[in-house]
Each structure stands twice: as C-alpha cells, then as structure tokens.
Structure 1
Amino acid sequence: MTDQTRKRINFLQEFSIPLIAGVIMALIWANLTPESYNHFVHNKLFGNFSLHFFVNDIFMVFFFAMATVEITQSLLPGGDLNPLKRAISPIMATFGGVIGPVVIYLVLNHFMGSPDFLKGWGIPTATDIALAWLVARLVFGAYHPAVSFLLLLAIADDGIGLLIITLFYPDPLNPIAPVWLLFTLTGMLIAYFLRKKNVKNYWPYIIFGGTLSWIGLYLTGIHSSLALVFIVPFLPHPTKEQAGLFEDDPEDPDPSTLKEFEHDWKIFVDFGLLLFGLTNAGVQFSGISTVTWLVFFALVIGKTLGVFTMGSLSALIGFPLPKGMNHKDLFVAGLVASMGLTVALFVAGVAFTDPSLQGAAKMGALFSAGSVFLSFIASKLLRIQRKATEVSNTQHKQN
C-alpha cells in the first residue's frame, strides 16, 4: 500500500466518510423511490434473513467489538480511565444521559403531547456511537480524555438502550428466554480458558467464544450485535497500556492479541459503516408533528443536562472526571452525546406502529444531528482546549 493510498484511507476513516455517505444515500434513495429502497433493505437474501439483518446483527458485532477494544485498553493501568474509580464518572453520566431524556420527554408530553405518544419515551435514550466518536474527536481533538469518556458513555448508553428495546418493546413473536444466556456464559468461559492457556491467536476466541455468545443473545431475544462485547476483554493484552486511546505504539515489536484484532478489523468496520448507514437511515421526510419536537428536545436538552448533572454529581461525591477533563468539557460532551440519529431511528421503528407517528418521530431523531453544530458553537463559546496528537503524545509519555 502506497503512502498516498494510506493517507486517503486514513482520511476516510478519521472523518467517518463511509457512515456519512451511507446516511445521505439512504435519505435520498428512501425519498425518491421508497419501494425500491425498502426492497433493497428488507428483501430476503438467504432464507428469512435480509440485508438489514446481516448488517445489524452480524456486521455490528465487530463495530461494538472495536469500541470494546478501546474501552479495555483505556481501563488498563496507564489507560485514560485507570484507576477504575475514574470509570465511575462516565457510568454515572450514562445513567443521567438515559434518565434525563426520558424525564424531558414525559414532562413535555404531559403539557403538549398526547397519550398516543407515550410509547416514544425510549427513542431518545441512546447515543449514536459512531457519530459521537467522530464529533468528539473533531471538537476535543483525537487525544483529549473527553473522547474516551464519551466512548465509554456511548457504549454503556447503547447497551441500556438495547436493553430498553428488549424489555419495553418486545417482539410478540419472540418472547425473552433468559435460559439461552447459558450459551453466552459458555462462550465467556471458553474465552477465559483460552486466555489461561495463553492462546495468542484471536480466531479461537472469536469463532468459539464469539459464536456461542451470539447464539445465546439471539435466542434470548437480546440484540446479538453485543456478542463480542463479552469476549473481547478476554483477548490477551499487556498489563499496562503504553499508548493513548485510538493511538498505535509504533515502538511495540510484539503487539498484543487485542491490538492485532483491532488492527485487522478496523478498516473493515470503518468502511462497513457505509452499509450500516445505508440500511438504517432511510427515512421518508414526512409531516413534522409534536412528537418530532418531543424526541428532538428530549435528546438535546435531556441528554445534555442528564450527562452534565450526573457527571458533576459523581465528581462531587469523590469520583472525578478523567484527568485533563473539566466541567466545561463535560457539558460539551453531553451535547455531543445527544446525537441519537441511527440508534434513535431504530427505536422509533419499534416504538410506533402508526406510520405517521413513526415518520414524525424519525424526523426528530434526524434533527438531533444538529447537535454537531451546537457542539462546535458551545466549544467555541466555552473555549474548549483541543488536544492535538503531538501534545497528547508528549503528555502521555510524561505521565
């Protein structure tokens, strides 16, 4: 691979161009020829499985796995969220980022909505990981501790969001069956055994542990895209993290199994997000109604205030924000987290069966992408200090 080609690939990855392109393509296609778009996304390819299934239930397994790699590294000694008490703050902020939108949605619905809108309370609870990751890097700089804070928050946020979908928006044809989680537990035990035997190749972990984890979640009725979240932490990794989040260590002659897995799959995931955007963001522009604004304000106001309030409370009771992150950064991080977009689109699809309500709710989810601009404006007004690569590397080595 030439240097020029590598630079182009890095540019596309850095700015999430494949994901953004997929979202734009989906919006155009779904509004110009909706029947053609729906056929492309939901037509059965193999048996009863559509392209939508393969993207959301199989490809996204590796997306969540990449995020789990970064979380695992950040929790190691020397990582951005170590010692463990530093992880308490983003976890508390996560709960604020779930509870805040629900409260705002229900309160606004009480005064200006309708009982018909109540089922939409779960739509604004999740954060779009990919876009939050991208915008956080642009607003704060790729090596600012707020990036790792937001990544952990977004992963936990979406985990809770998927749990909300499972518990409160169940598929009547596939009731929850917790007994099948024994498959996932068995997959974790296999991964643990492989780690104890010092197996360096990541494939046995993925094939045996990951497959069993996926089967367990799928049969249980929990979204199977989280399968490798339970396996990746068992991949052999160094006892101490030498590089920062999203950062390779060029001086490491013997990269760990965890790092090899990330290196081998990252390009696949980054470019595969084009298909994710294409199959999930196709929403027809329909009439804007009250439910549109319920979703939008619940995301932007509820998520921002929820993250800021609970993050501040955690610092007050003795669980500080990551080193180098202050309360101004926390507020802007809450704004970045308010982008529900694709995840909110998915929840809107299961929350409402009425096409008009579903379309209006999805419009609110799409409008939440406006938090990109609000985040940049807030960062300028609050004079957020970006951390460039060179500065971050120097600081990291000094620490």
Structure 2
Amino acid sequence: MTKPSPLPATPKLNVFNRSSYPEYLHVSTILRKETVGGALLLVATVLALVLANTGAADLYYSVRDFTIGYEPWHLNLSLGAWAADGLLAIFFFIAGLELKREFVAGDLRTFSRAVVPVAAAIGGVIVPALIFTAIAFSSGPEMLRGWAIPTATDIAFAVAVLAVIGSKLPSALRIFLLTLAVVDDLLAIAIIAFFYSGDLQPVLLLLALVPLGLFAFLSHKYSYVFATTKWAAGTILLPLGLVTWALVHGSGIHATVAGVLLGFAVPVLRSRRGGGPDAGPGLAQNLEHRIRPLSAGFAVPVFAFFSAGVTLGGVEGLTTALTDPVAIGIVVALVVGKPVGIMLATWLVTKTTRGALDPDLAWVDVLGVAMLAGVGFTVSLLISELAFGQGSPHDDHAKVAILTGSLLAALLASVVLRSRNRHYGRIAEKEALDADNDGIPDVFQADPARSERPGGR
C-alpha cells in the first residue's frame, strides 16, 4: 500500500519583499516631490521660530491672528486657522487619493502586501497613545485630550530625512515608510473626526453629501474628460469640492475630513464608462500629479509657518516647556512608542501569518525605519491645536515637544540607517544591472510577477 504524499506546506508571507517595478517608479516620483516639500517645511519651521523669538514676534502673531472671511458660514477665520482648516484639506486630499490608489491599483491591493503597513500603522498609533496617557494621566483629564498628538508620522519630514541618509536603502523600506505614513494619516483624520469635532450640526453635514455625491458622480462619469482637459476639473470639480469643504467645516467636523472624503471619491482606474478608450490610469493619478506640488510646496509649509511659531522664553522657558507632563509624554511616545508599536505589530504579523522577513533585509533595517516614523510634525501640530487651543500654554509646550521628539527620532534613526545605507550601497550596483537592456533592472525580473503592471495602472 503506497503511502499518501504529504500536503504541500503553506507558503510563508514574505514581509518587505521587493515591489513591482511600476510601483517602484511611482513611489520614487512621490519621494522626490515630498523630499522637496520636507526641505520647504524645515525652512518654514525655522523661520517661524526665529520670528516668534525675536523683535518680530508681535508682527508674526498679528499676521497669524488676522481674521478674514464670511461669518454666517463660520468662515470668519484667522490666517492661522485658514491654514489649518483650509490648506491642510489639500494635504489630506492627496492622502486620500494616494491611499485609494494603493488599495485599488497599487501593490497594497493584495492582502500579503497590505497587512504589514496597515498593522504597523495601527501599532504605531496605539502604543504612543498608551504611553502618553500613562505619563499624562496624573495631570488630570484635561491633559489627556492630547493623547493623539504623538500618533502621527509626517510624510514630508520623514521622507526628506530618508532621502539624505538612506538613498541606497532597498526600495521596499522606502515604500513601507511612505505607505505607513499614508495609512497613519487616514487613522489621524479618523481620530480628528471622532474625537476632536464638536458642536455637530447634522443638517449641514447632510447637506455636504449633496455636493460630495455630485463630485463623485461627475468624476467617475467624465473622468477621461477631467483628466485630459486641464480647465474642466478646476471649473467643475473645484467649486463642488469647495462647497463640500465649507459645509463640512460649518457642521462641526474638522474641515480636513472633507479633503479625505473628496480624495476617496475620485476614480483610480479609467474605463470606457468613464469616457476613456480603455482601462488605464484614472483621474486620481492625474489630479495627484497636478496637486501634490501645491500641497508639498505651499499648503503644508504655510501651515507649518503659522503653527510652529512658539515663543520659547530662553533656556528657562524651554526647560519649563519640556518638564510639562504633556511634553514628556509626547517626546517619549514619539521616540520610544512609535518604533515599539511598529516593530511589535510587524513582528506579530510574521508570527500570526507564517510570515518571514525578506532574506535581503535584516530586522535592524525595519527598526531604523520604525524610529524614523517617530518624526511627527504636521498632523501632530494640528491635533495639538485642536486638543489644547492655539496659543495656550499646553499647546505651546506640546509644540516644543513635537519639535524635540521629532528631532531626536530623526537623529536616532540616522545613526541606525546610515550604517545600513553603507551596507546596501555596496550592493546597489548589482541591483542596477540591466543585462537585456529592456529598461527594467534585472532584479525586478527575478520573479516575473513582480514586474507586471498592477491593476491597469
């Protein structure tokens, strides 16, 4: 009697394996734009701090607090509030576009690729929140409103740091950081919507569904027209987006939520039904290319300029700020909580899904990227203002802590990643080989499935 052959073993999930070549090109383009944005963000932050701590402080604060707008729609706002509520909606619109593209047509449309960054982002939110809560708990319930401040990762700053210190790191790590930050933004906007919105006006919120629905209908039905005719999107879709934003803002939900909703409403793939000749890149990719430079080069730096200006008050004032339990909680959560949460979640994925780290990588690489995710800035500053009120003592202390924690996280990550960057630099030339001269590096063709164009993108 012949012995039955054993069943084949379930293949293991390969964590951080190489992306497809089209995904590599797409992410490389984003990284270049966000790197420039990170540099502008740094300049805007330094300028704000200089102005707020010199004889120009009164002028700086008077400009930031200058109000302009239309009161009946709750739009009589200071310039600082316009930057936080309006310009950041552009930033979150891009985040919505990118997140939808990744899950519809990017490498994250498959469970095996999506599970790691999504789990890591969740871990990178839960652990810092718990650490902050544990440290600030004794200071009273009012201080606990800042629990979400250290949960965000700043795409522009983190990517800019990675571009300087990790140019030779495997693309899988850079894609992981970018995807982690995008999912992080989605979690942050959900937190803002559920925990930092007040005085809800249900009628205005329901009214916002009308222009939002029309925006979604038109962008799907005439996606090819909007993608190929430059003036069409600005003439038709932009007004609908602005009305949606204004109604969401007036409803009591933070207006940046409108940016994400509008981003989700844009089609990722083009089809005959959408007016195109065949399936292919949709309106989302087109709008992303047009608007990302505006977001990274203007919207986010202007927000940082109005938000990062804090009067430090010399060494004594800086000491007072950093000894506030709120500040201590933020710094520890960013520097320790973020990497612990990300590493723990990633490790759990490998254990619960029979996963294994890609043989080309080491866990110290993941640790370096996880530490870099502690660079929280843009969304952290926004949540700080929502939690404590712009200009309040705890808000100022929180902003000092955000800057300090982000700087420490970047420095510690640099120590780890620079050594790894030298290691991968020695094998970079091998990865760039293209023996068959087909325009695609041979390393992407080791597995034919990796070089296929995903999802009609």
Q: Which residue, 357, 360, 380 being the options, matches 1:344?
A: 380
* Larger displacement relative to structure 2 (319-328 or 260-269): 319-328
* Larger displacement relative to structure 2 (26-35 or 192-201): 192-201
Root-mean-square deviation (Å) = 3.6
Partner-residue secondary structure (3-state), 2:68 = strand
Partner-residue secondary structure (3-state), 2:200 = coil
1:308: which partner in 2?
A: 343
Question: Is 2:62 the partner of 1:39?
Answer: yes
Q: Judge conservation of contact 1:206–1:228 (CA < 8 Å) in 2.
A: no
Question: Is 2:333 the partner of 1:298?
Answer: yes
* Larger displacement relative to structure 2 (305-314 or 196-205): 196-205
In structure 2, do the counterparts of structure 1 residues 283 and 325 end up closer, same or farther at CA, with 3 Å as the change threshold?
farther
Partner-residue secondary structure (3-state), 1:227 = helix
Q: Distance in 2 between matches of 1:357 and 1:195?
A: 43
1:133-144 pair list within 5 angstroms: 133-141=159-167, 144=171
Q: CA deviation at 1:131?
A: 1.3
Q: Distance in 1 between matches of 2:37 and 2:94?
A: 17
Aligned AA for 2:342?
V
Q: Which residue, 46, 52, 75 being the options, matches 2:80?
A: 52
Q: Which residue, 221, 225, 231 being the options, matches 1:197?
A: 221
Deviations 1:116-165 (A, max 9, x none): 64343232122223212323444544972333333333233234334434
Q: Which residue, 138, 144, 168 being the options, matches 1:118?
A: 144
Aligned AA for 2:366?
L
Question: Is 2:114 the partner of 1:90?
Answer: no
Q: Which residue, 364, 384, 387 being the options, matches 2:401?
A: 364
* Larger displacement relative to structure 2 (213-222 or 300-309): 213-222
| TM-score normalised according to structure 2 size | 0.69
Q: CA deviation at 1:25?
A: 0.5
Aligned AA for 1:55?
A
Aligned AA for 1:199?
S
Uncovered stretches (5+) of structure 2, i.e. residues with no partner: 1-31, 71-75, 228-232, 272-279, 434-439, 451-457
Question: Is 2:414 the partner of 1:376?
Answer: yes
Aligned AA for 1:42?
D
Q: Distance in 1 between matches of 2:179 and 2:206?
A: 26
Question: Is 2:26 the partner of 1:24?
Answer: no
Q: Judge conservation of contact 1:213–1:230 (CA < 8 Å) in 2.
A: no
Q: Judge conservation of contact 1:136–1:150 (CA < 8 Å) in 2.
A: no
1:219-234 pair list within 5 angstroms: 219-234=250-265
Q: Distance in 2 between matches of 1:282 and 1:210?
A: 30
Question: Is 2:362 the partner of 1:330?
Answer: no
- Percent same amino acid at aligned positions? 26
Q: CA deviation at 1:310?
A: 1.3
In structure 2, do the counterparts of structure 1 residues 260 and 176 end up closer, same or farther at CA, with 3 Å as the change threshold?
same
Q: Distance in 2 between matches of 1:396 and 1:230?
A: 35
Q: Distance in 2 between matches of 1:61 and 1:169?
A: 16
Q: CA deviation at 1:16?
A: 2.5
2:274: which partner in 1?
A: none
Uncovered stretches (5+) of structure 1, i.e. residues with no partner: 1-9, 241-253
1:81: which partner in 2?
A: 108
Q: Which has the larger radius of gyration?
A: 2
Number of corresponding residues = 371
